[in-house]
Every structure is written in structure tokens, then in C-alpha cells.
Amino acid sequence: MRKRFTVTTRLRLLLPTACFVLSCSSAPSPSEDTRATASAIVKGTESDEGQDATVLVMHYDALREGGGAASGCTGSLLAPRLVLTARHCVAVTDPGAACNSEGKPIAGGAVHADHEPSAIYVFAGKDRPDFISGTARPARGKEILTTGAKTLCDNDIALVLLDRPLEGGRITPIRLTTKPVKGELVTVVGWGITDDEPNPKSRRQRTDVAILDVGPASDLGPKEFRIGEGTCQGDSGGPALAASGAVLGALSRGGNETGGTGADGCIGGTNIFTSAAAHADFIRAGYEKAGQEPWLEGEPNPLLGKVGAACEADANCRSNVCDSERKTCAEDCSNGACAAGFTCVEQQARKVCAPSERDESDGCSVGTRSGSRPAPYVVSALALAVIVAAARRKSSAGSNG
């Protein structure tokens, strides 16, 4: 690993801006000794549809003096109406941040004000939207949720509650119960600049990037972790994905020691993420506000059907088993018993738990062999017959006396 720069003299720049429309809504220019941070995906490959939970997050200020301005970031779709991204992607902040091991700012990193939620646009899909044709169909921000911190150190994380479910979006699981692990390999995905293009036409990814440190560590707060080369400007807010596919955090800042711009400031650098697990309560509250059950790492997608829900295919069910006869989600019983009220049955070369047939041969019944209760009028007729018979016996006994 290359020798780290001195955080007291150089700021790590935030990585939000990739310009898409008109002029770029950029922060003040850094000084010559300011270090570039966060990267776009450098030395990566094209992302595929399997990573469609990684979305393009744009802030468009139509009222900016001199004409509209846009800046771009990346985010993760946690629920149909909930996006995880970086705080600096949805707020006016200092252009860089240097933090200590306690998560306190040494220089920069101040949060000044959040953007208007309706000025945040979120786009799904692996290809860059066509902004000119007007065919792009983004969702817009309805509310920006934050930790309330006034610094980006340890808190460069935000949630955007959307005005509607994101069309074409795919949600992702998240790790909230345990921290990332040093040495763990992650995949980074984003919309930032690459070593070839300032505005790539498609989303990019880079696999097998190692986690170098988990905070607290040098210039790394207790709620942050650091990875190696992989990201660049425009990837801010994007995910580090575990081998399970779960989001571990949102990209905050990074870069190398050259002070270069664009990809030159990213190649060979390191990058810092805000940990999702360190903000578990905040993120769970966001899910609740979105009216959505969290999709936690290792658990089934909560958008899929529970046992008994209607289905057409296995992919519709949390259990990945659709009972082809009843068209309802079921459990697989190839390696275990079924719950009470269910029986393991053979079905299309596999075993599924089907509702048990009721045993209706037991118990008393009147006028039926099905075990169903007789109709009320039948019971009344029987009762009347018993009363009449008793009266006749009493009358007969009296006459014989």
C-alpha cells in the first residue's frame, strides 16, 4: 500500500460530480495540495442487469443562476421507494473532508444545507439515460432522510424517499448486523468517470477489491471502512457489495496522492465508505418510513410471496417453491419435515409441503357421512321428535296407572 498523505495538509475530496446536463453544479476548486477523492469505476468492466439495484442519482438545480445545472452520484435501491446514497450527494457541503480516527473533522467536511428533495432524480437501468429525448422516466425525491450530523465524517450517508416506486428498479439486500471485515473482497459499482471516459455510456463495476481497513484507523472514523483502487468522481454514494450481494456501505471520499483531476486523481488511490451496519437504526427507520420490510443479508427478498401467497413460478416465492397444483408458494421438504397442517408430497420430481387433507371419518354425524355439521333445521326436527316421543311415553304410563 502506498504511503498515506498527511490529512492535516491535504483534504480528501468528495466524489459527487459527473456532469450530464448543461453546466456542472460543482464545489469550489481545491487548492494545489488538496487530494482528489472518491473515484468512478477505474479499470473495471460493464455492469449487467443483475446489478440494477445500483441507480443513478442526480441533483438538478433548474433555478441556478446562468441556467440549469446538474451533478451526478450513485445510489442503492433498498426498497421500491428508498435509495441509499452519500449525504454530500443530496446536500451543500464542503468540497472535501479530512477526519480523525474518532470520526471528527480535522478540516472541511461541513454540511451546510440539504437540497430540495424534489430536485433529486433517480434513474434505473444499466445504460445512461437519454436526457435529450425526454424518454427517461426517473422517480423524484419526496423526502431526504439524514442522521442530522453537521459533518460528513462518519456520517456521509443519506436516504432518499421517492415520490413513487422506481420504474425498472431492482432492490438489493443490505448488511446491518455485522461490520465489514478487513480483507473481505467487495465489488464496487457506479456511474462515475472511468480511466477511459468522463461520462461512460453504461454503469461500471470492479470486482475483488479488498477492504484495507475498518475504522477506527488513521483518517478513518469508527463508522467507516477503506478499500483499494476502484472508484472515482460520480461513484459517490454507490455501494461496496459483499460476495452475498449485500450492500456494505455508501462511498464517501477517496483518491490518490497526486492531486490530479479526473481519473488521474483516482488511479492507485484508496477510497472510504460509510458503513451501513454502523447506521443500522437510521436505515431501519428509513425502511419503516418507506413502508417496506428490510431485505437483510442472507434472508429472502421481502417483495416475494410468503407461504400461501399466489404464484405462477418459483421465482415469485421467498422459498423459491411454487406449488404447481395449487398455484401458491410452498416450502421444500426434500431435507426436512413440514410444519403442522402440511404434508410432504411428491410433485414434479421434487417434494413440497402441501396442506394436509382433513380426516373426516372420525366423530359423530347426523344425516351425513362427510363429518360436516347438520343444518340447524335438521337438529330442530330431531329435538322435536325426541320431545314428542317422551310426551307419548308419559301419557301412556299415566293411562296404564
My answer on whether omega of the bond before 198 falls inside 30° of 0, hence cis, is: no
Q: What one-letter code names the amino acid at 127?
A: D
Beta-carbon contacts of 316 under 8 Å, excluding residues fewer than 6 positions away, are 304, 305, 309, 322, 329
Q: Helix, strand, or coil here: 39?
A: strand
Residue type present at position 15: L
Question: Which residue, 26, 17, 238, 282, is CA-closest to 149?
Answer: 282
DSSP string, 361-401: SSS--SS-SS-PPPPHHHHHHHHHHHHHHHHHHHHHHHHH-
How many CB atoms are located within 10 Å of the residue 262 CB?
17
Nearest Cα residue to 223 out of 141, 311, 154: 154
- Which structural domains are found in the chain, ordered by start? 12-282 (2.40.10.120), 314-355 (no CATH)
User: CA 297 to CA 248: how far, in whole Å?
Assistant: 10
Interatomic CA distance for residues 366 and 373, integer angstroms: 8
Q: Could you tell me which of 257, 238, 245, 242 has the C-alpha nearest to residue 40?
A: 238
Enter the pTM of the model. 0.77
Question: What is the residue-level pLDDT of the chain in tens, covering all 401 positions?
Answer: 232 222 332 355 564 433 332 222 333 333 333 333 343 465 668 888 889 999 999 998 776 555 556 788 999 999 999 999 999 999 999 988 999 999 999 999 999 999 999 999 999 999 888 877 878 889 999 999 999 999 999 999 999 999 999 999 999 999 999 999 999 999 999 988 776 666 778 898 999 999 999 999 989 999 999 999 888 878 899 999 999 999 999 999 988 777 666 777 787 889 999 999 999 999 999 999 999 999 999 999 999 999 999 999 999 999 999 999 999 999 999 998 899 999 999 998 899 999 988 654 544 443 433 344 434 433 344 444 444 454 455 444 444 44
Residue type, 392: R
Amino acid in the structure at residue 36: A
